[in-house]
Amino acid sequence: MKKSLFILAFLLFLLLITNTNAQWEPCNNGLYGGFISSVVYCGNNLFAGTRAGVFLSTNNGSKWAQVNNGLTSLDIKYLAVSGDNVYAGTSEGLFFSINKGSSWTLVNNGLPVGYTPCIAISDSMVYVMSSAGGFLSTDYGKSWNLADSGLESGTKHCIAINGNIIFISSYTGLFSSTNKGSSWTKVNNGLDFIVLSLAVCNSNIFAGTFGGGVFKSTNNGSDWTKVNTGIKDGIIYSLAVNGDSIYAGSYSGVFFTTNDGSSWTKINNGLPNSYRLYVNSLAVNGMSICAGTDQGVFLTTDRGSVWAHINNELTNIDISCFAIKDNNIFAGTSEQGVFVSLNNGNSWTKVNTGLTDLNVICIASNDSNVFIGTYDDGVFSSTNKGSNWTQVNNGLPKNAIIGIVLKENNIFAITSYKGVFLSTNNGSSWTPINNGLTDLTLLSLSMADDNIYVSNLNSNLFLYSSNENNWIQIHNLPTSCYQIFTVTSYKSNIYAGTGLGVLMSTNRGGNWKIVNTGSKDKVVKSIVVYEGNICAGTHDGVFLSTNNGSNWGQFKNGFTNTLINSLIFNEDYIFAGTSGAGVFRTKLSDLITDVKDSSPLSTDLFLFPNPAQDVLNLKLANAGTVPGIIHIYDVFGRQIAENLIPVGATEWKVDIEKLTAGIYFLNIKADGISKSQKFSIIR
């Protein structure tokens, strides 16, 4: 009976401490779409390649699901189909699936692992370009041989196969091979533009170019003729063929021809009414045409008469920035404009009315307005929580706006290479304020301790003096400081996120010290502070310190992409904006609880990170005068590991790679003192 009560009590204890481990949850309801690199049909199954992996729709885009099992890289560059096999070229190699994406296998029998941007398939012949060169397989990818003799170096854009002839384009021209890649010949006569896309129709080769529109060859590339009647755009990103119909994806929509390119018709009804729409990929299946764009996936089932946006549950959005206004969360994205959540992230609504540029870099708000900075079209303002936007650019140069900060009635905006501008009338007019800046190529704009800071690409930091209308350079930064992305403050402390970790100043910028996150990738794009708790968004998840950076806890459980661009607090939650995976959130109280679990039980023992994976770091405030001994116990009290700490050591690494995931207790004995602390292991 006692044993049963003990087990029951233990299970309840285990449940409680397990639930305190912070877990990030996606909150992307309505945050659908994003940059689509490639779309293909495999039978009636529709696949989309994104920066968040591969998505599959079995109902022609009505609903999507991620199918990434086995992929070690989610950065999908290209998709191709051969029979029932689907191939995915990624930043880390070529994968294929024989079960409609349920699982993926790395193709590496003779094919080096590396960047694989383009693929072409004809029957059993598969040709790919990788970072190691061009490779050919004649057995559906089971084995590979190097086949790029004679190809000039340079980035490769696309591949096409016409019978036994392989075509490949690069920055240096278009090449063809008639002997399965054993040798290559340049075939550029009449073609003076970089080729971005290739297609074969009725034995004719069509080339979509950068700046020259569409070209056609009737003799396998020996000669080329421009066939652009009806096409106003010179940049053709994609080509697709269905019978005698050819479709061209351009800089501003889709065109088609049924007469071998003699004339083209624009078919954009239902596509975004924007001057810029990158149609990166086209796929055709009977009457259905699918377009993968920088704004998500679009589908027409009547050969282009009407297009529909089909992105339900396809989340592949880069969140570049956040702002809070009246507890409403605004999220700026790199290709989808602005979204707002009125219910703490439970759902999101797109609010882009009036925007002419959907590439939002920065966002800020005050009592009356929300301001955004865009890549091409300057600053926009909304007085009704994003329902409508108005351009406010009088006095601003035609330049990317990469930072906005509001201080009282002043609005500061920085441009990519024209410096800083100030508006004192809600953006109606702008004035440059660049006195004291040594370089106008700026990187970041921040407000900390009620002061305005800017940084440039040379890793210099400047403070604005409103009394003197002048920028003052901050000195005494660590020599290892590399690019300052953000600056924030709490009380008298100032924190800077850099390319090499976190810097802290306790005397308002007079002196700085490095308080690194412990992450392998120390790029810190965002720092936010809440009641002394410092959160750092890095390229390896989120780190939190409750003691001014002395030690940090790493939190990335639940993230499908750990590249964090932006962080913000709202109510009891912290929100993280990622590159390609939308928004995630977790309760701040859970983070703080977990970090405090990794803080010292007394003032002389630290364990971090906690949770840990392969190595647990131990730090003692005072060195022992005799050797110390470490014991690790599981939750049943069984000793499972033992380590010795030498005399005088204050730091030690404990190898936990062979331990399974779960809850453990570490006990250290030295100089007659015994200390114990809980930690957890995640796998």
CA distances from 333 to 33, 229, 337, 361 (A): 11, 36, 5, 7
Contacts of 633 (CB under 8 A, 6+ apart): 639, 640, 664, 665, 667
pLDDT at site 631:
83
Q: Are 606 and 551 in contact (CB under 8 A)?
A: yes
What helix, strand, coil percent values describe the chain, rounded to 5?
5, 50, 45
CATH of 315-598, one of 3.40.1380.20, 2.130.10.10, 3.30.40.10, 3.30.830.10: 2.130.10.10
Residue 151 confidence (pLDDT): 79
The domains spanning 36-238 and 605-681 adopt the same CATH topology: no
Can you read off the two tokens belonging to residue 210? 């950068």
N-terminal to C-terminal alpha carbon distance within the chain? 35
CA Rg value for the chain = 28
pLDDT at 547: 80
Joined together, the tokens standing for residue 599 give 């803080």
**Domain boundaries defined on the chain:** 36-238, 315-598, 605-681
Cα dihedral 214→219→224→227 (10° resolution): -40
CB 332 within 8 A of CB 319: yes
Q: Are 401 and 392 spatial neighbours (Cβ–Cβ below 8 Å)? A: no
Looking at residue 677, what is its pLDDT? Answer: 77
How many other CB atoms are there within 10 angstroms of residue 667's CB atom? 14
**According to the model, what pLDDT value does residue 125 have?**
80
* CATH fold for the domain made of 36-238: Methylamine Dehydrogenase; Chain H (2.130.10)
Asked whether the beta carbons of 79 and 40 are under 8 A apart, the reply is yes
pLDDT reported for residue 348: 97
Question: Which residues are paired to 465 by β-bridges?
Answer: 470
> Which pTM does this prediction carry?
0.77
Stretches in the chain below the pLDDT threshold 50: 1-20, 597-603
SS3 6: helix
Write the CATH number of the domain with boundaries 605-681.
2.60.40.3080
Q: What integer pLDDT is reported at residue 347 of this predicted model?
A: 96
Phi, psi for residue 230 in degrees, rounded to 5:
100, -15
299: nearest Cα among 316, 284, 314: 284
Q: What integer pLDDT is reported at residue 601 of this predicted model?
A: 30
Tell me the one-letter amino acid at 574: I
Cα 121-125-128 angle, rounded to 5 deg: 60
CB count within 10 Å of CB 222 equals 12
